[in-house]
Chains A and B, each alone.
Chain A
């Protein structure tokens, strides 16, 4: 049985704050096979992004206090800095949330994609490189000529597509998408998410999608994968991404969400008698 693409066991991440240790991720475990789509849902500050940062070893100030993370069977904690650097975007890539500000504003799109190849030892002739980058952009619904443009000349949706193109440049086996569409307009959101889904399926990679819009997630995640509901209390210390074993009962929980069909619309309630204040 081939090892799962990603296997996280009892992951805990702590932050040292003036008010003592803050446990951002509290005993999270889940695993993913190739091609699987996994949704990580929760409100802001619920630790869902921290899990991804811990995976990519980009925790600023945080510390993985316990738990193991295995990518394609390899325990990530055993890798040295240089080894881990080579693994980034080759085996595991990231689609950032703030696409608007995630591209280097002073160099062309072409150079930012070429960097990935160069620093992972992938050599091309310049003509070949142009063709490869052109294909990559076309796969995410952008014209090949976009590679000669600067980031400020592209719309929010186009910038996010460039980030998706980057994330599949080295054909990784796992894509981490940290709220890739929350900064975009509603209409563009659907197109970009659709592109991400299509590209991930063509690549056969596993994908972890982080988000707080549960309705959006429900449509993206394949029925088999389960969803973690990351709790966050209003005051005081936030609880980490609590581990919900097996499948959350999606039906009951979804009904509580505002939507056009649900009858829980506030407006429908009979008008109370006046004079509340």
Chain B
């Protein structure tokens, strides 16, 4: 039974300034899930400052919530035993945004590939390690002879991003958290990498959280989409429904801001009012109301359905998709 990683009703508040007077609410009342019985891909979409990177840090255990908790396989992160924590560390991996910052310039790229195998004792010899590394590099479309033995500055952004994916795969993870994995990669390579990520779920049964500010790529790979703004979930639901029938005004504005590449479909660029519409997130997070079997929107839109969490919608969507796909 694949394990479930959940953030339950979490708040993250950063205090700074003289005597900790200035408080910045990065996340408020967020419940997200990844993994579980039906591996799926959830896209977390939000602009800069929406709290999406903080969410990744919570899921990775790099940051503890001010309120609420992070639970893996039923065990809260805060009180996890050492062996459980080691197993968590191995089964939940991540890919980061900046390919130039993710590699220690002092070492060849073999270093971050050998380290996980040694650290978790997955190999008995150097040859066995390199065998696994080469196989994994090939699985992400890289030729080992053109990659291994090189320093990070000798590889292109696209190559480095794929090496980072390979590193995560070496540990046979159940869950991969991808923080804007393609935003700093050239457009031509973007679809290749998205293809690889989608393949991880489809072929290896790995569940992913795909964090991005780019709705079009979210539409490409994700089964469900969570729209985040000011640290609160505005809307969550199955991808097709959210994109083609957005309910929350913020989601609608986000979709409207994306230009369709076909110039004939109107985008009314010239009627822009000077000042953009402001979506100030309200102080207390508005609960999510179910507006369909696979949908929920923050705040009461029309007759509010029962209150539900984003996690529940995500799991519902992944279950529904599992039913569609042949086993």
Contact = CB atoms under 8 A, between A and B. Distances in A.
A1 interface: no
A268 B106 CA distance: 42
A260 B139 contact: no
Contact of B275 (A141, A214, A215, A220): A141
Interface in A201-217: 201, 212-216
B256 to A, nearest CB: 8
B219 A198 contact: no
B203 A276 contact: yes
A216 B272 CA distance: 15
A271 B276 contact: no
Contacts of B215: 186, 260
A234 interface: yes
Interface stretch (A24-32, A91-99, A189-197): A189-197
A260 B219 contact: yes
A267 interface: yes
A274 to B, nearest CB: 6
B221 interface: yes
Contact of B47 (A142, A187, A271): A187
Given A141-B275, A261-B262, A272-B202, A234 B269 contact: no
Nearest to B199: A276
Given A43-B187, A266-B195, A276-B199, A254 B262 contact: yes
Interface in A243-277: 250, 254-255, 257-262, 265-267, 271-272, 274-277
A271 B325 contact: yes
B259 A218 contact: yes
B187 A191 contact: no
A188 B135 CA distance: 44
A92 to B, nearest CB: 24
A220 to B, nearest CB: 7
Nearest to B274: A141
A157 interface: yes
Interface in B150-177: 156, 158, 169
Given A216-B259, A274-B203, A191 B326 contact: no
A195 B272 CA distance: 7
B186 interface: yes
A160 B106 CA distance: 38
A186 B254 contact: yes
Contact of A265 (B156, B213, B220, B265): B220
A44 B186 contact: yes
B263 A219 contact: yes
Interface in A63-100: none
A191 B270 CA distance: 9
Chain A interface size, as a band, is 35 or more
Given A187-B254, A218-B263, A257-B261, A195 B274 contact: yes
Interface string A124-136: 0000000000000
A140 B259 CA distance: 22
A140 B215 CA distance: 28
Contacts of B135: 277
Nearest to B275: A141
Find the residue from A140, A186, A201 having the highest chain B CB count within 10 A.
A186
Contacts of A141: 273-275
Contact of B187 (A212, A272, A275): A212
A266 B186 contact: no
B326 A271 contact: yes
Contacts of A223: 263
A113 to B, nearest CB: 18
A232 interface: yes
B270 A197 contact: yes
A234 B274 contact: no
Find the residue from B187, B213, B253 having the highest chain A CB count within 10 A.
B187
Given A194-B269, A218-B259, A235-B156, 15 more contacts: A142-B274, A194-B272, A198-B270, A215-B259, A216-B259, A234-B156, A234-B188, A254-B262, A258-B190, A258-B220, A261-B265, A266-B198, A271-B202, A271-B326, A275-B203
3 closest Cβ pairs, A-B complex: A141-B274, A194-B272, A215-B261
11 contacts: A43-B187, A186-B214, A193-B272, A212-B187, A232-B188, A234-B188, A254-B262, A259-B216, A261-B260, A266-B191, A277-B169
